Each structure stands twice: as structure tokens, then as C-alpha cells.
Amino acid sequence: MESGPVVRNADRDDVMAICRFGEEYVRARYAPLIGEEAAALQVRRWWNETNIAGAVARGSIVVAGDGGRLAGVGQCGLDAGEHVICKLYAHPGHRGLDARLLDVLIGRLPADAGRVYAEHLAADERAGAFFEREGFTVARIEPSATGDPRLDVVRRLGSAFVIGSRRPS
């Protein structure tokens, strides 16, 4: 039996909690890696109410709840026809939750999805190591518009093997 936070589809009642999660957790995680100003910009750009509400309405976000608080957030969507995991964050106190969120996101892909990408900032080496352990390999690095290499987006590819090994049987 699985213990710990319950992973479920986000609903509109979760929007503000997800935005707060970004403001509190994601901003604090990124500030030492990319600087306070760049971390604040990332949160304003990707964790704002409009962006999150739209993703929730599309069914793109899953959340992990623990005692009424969010312990993790994951988001998968389409980018130029490619399935992309663009958010995957779990509080450090919840060991293994990141892998559970990943499993749920991959399990929600269409049956004919042959691949999925995961993306993270180049400065986030911990995310890179996680995706590497989970079978994702670097497909490309997309340079930041700012020219700051810490803000480059690393896009990693998960093959059909990665997808198939994570789907419920």
C-alpha cells in the first residue's frame, strides 16, 4: 500500500495553492542557483494565476497533498506537438515523491505516445541528475533569451522504454 502524499489531478480550487507553492518553494529553490531576481521572474512567468488556472483547466497539472498542504506539483503538456513535462517539484521532506509524480504524468500520456521530454533549467543540476536516473537523456539545450547559461533550458528525452516501464500494467 502506498503511503505519503496523495497524488491527484489538480482542480480549480487548487490554483492559488499551486501559485503559493511556486512562490514559496520554487523561488527558494532557484534563488541560490540563478539569483533572486531571476528566480522571482521564473515564478512570475510560470507560476502566476492565469498560467496555472489555464493548465488546470486543460487537465495538465497533478498535485500531491499532505495534510492539507501541497507537497508536490507536476505538469505535462504539448509543445510543438511534443509531450513535455515542464514542472516536477516535490518538497525534499517527501522522499520518492518526485518519482511518483513522474509516474502519474507519464501514465496520463496517450497510449500512442512514443516519447516524452522533460525540461529543467541548466543551473538545476539536481533535476538533471534525477531525470538521468529515471532514464531521460539530454536531447538538446535551448539557450536563454537573456544569454545567461544558467537559464538555458535542458530538454531531456524519455524513450518508449521509459514510458512503457512506467505505465501501469
Write out pLDDT tens, residues 25-46. 999 999 999 999 999 999 999 9
pLDDT score of 66: 79
**pLDDT for residue 92:** 83
Structure confidence at residue 112 (pLDDT): 83
CATH of the domain at 64: 3.40.630.30
Strand order in the sheet with 69-79: 6-9, 61-66, 69-79, 82-90, 116-121, 153-158, 137-142
C-alpha cell recorded at residue 27:
523561488
Whether 78 is in a domain gets the answer: yes
CA distance 103 to 71: 16
Tell me whether residue 1 is in a domain: no
The reported pLDDT for the residue numbered 17 is 97
Please give the residue that has the higher pLDDT: either 159 or 1: 159
Reported as a single tens digit per residue, the pLDDT across 78-101 is 998 999 999 999 988 888 899 999
* Nine-digit cell string for 24: 514559496
Residue 169 has pLDDT above 50, yes or no: no
Using 50, 70 and 90 to split pLDDT, how confident is the model at 113? confident
Read off the pTM. Answer: 0.90
Q: Specify the pLDDT at position 159.
A: 72
Number of domains in the chain: 1
151 band by pLDDT with thresholds 50, 70 and 90? very high
Q: What is the pLDDT of residue 110?
A: 86
Structural domain including 78 reads: 6-166
Element containing residue 70 per DSSP (H, E): strand 69-79
- Domain membership of residue 41 (yes or no) is yes
Q: Confirm whether 59 is domain-assigned.
A: yes
Q: What is the pLDDT of residue 121?
A: 97
